[in-house]
Amino acid sequence: MAIKKVWIEKGCTACGLCEEICPDIFKMEDEATVIEGADYSAFEEKIKEAADSCPVEIIKYE
């Protein structure tokens, strides 16, 4: 099933791993954010990898 929504819950430690894994979807400033309007379907595997790799497990998708 295609990913339709990606978000980051509170508690980001700003490690930068999500942006390193998938810079087309995640951006690091003070905390990680999801880039608005990004095409999630083109980066599904990388989104899943970033979520699985997040040390505080706050990257969510559906």
Q: What is the mean pLDDT of residues 10-26?
A: 97
* Domain assignment of residue 43, yes or no: yes
* Domain assignment of residue 1, yes or no: no
Residue 42, domain CATH: 3.30.70.20
Mean pLDDT (the chain, rounded): 96
Band (pLDDT 50/70/90 cuts) for residue 53 is: very high
Q: What is the mean pLDDT of residues 25-50?
A: 95
Residue 20 has pLDDT above 90, yes or no: yes
Task: Say which residues have a Cβ less than 8 Å from residue 61's Cβ, sequence separation at least 6.
Answer: 3, 5, 6, 7, 40, 47, 48, 51
Residue 1 has pLDDT above 90, yes or no: no
* Domain assignment of residue 52, yes or no: yes
Considering its fold, how many domains does the chain have in total? 1
Beta bridge mates, 27:
33
Question: Which residues constitute the domain of residue 57?
Answer: 6-61
* Domain assignment of residue 57, yes or no: yes
Share of residues in the chain with pLDDT > 70 (%): 100
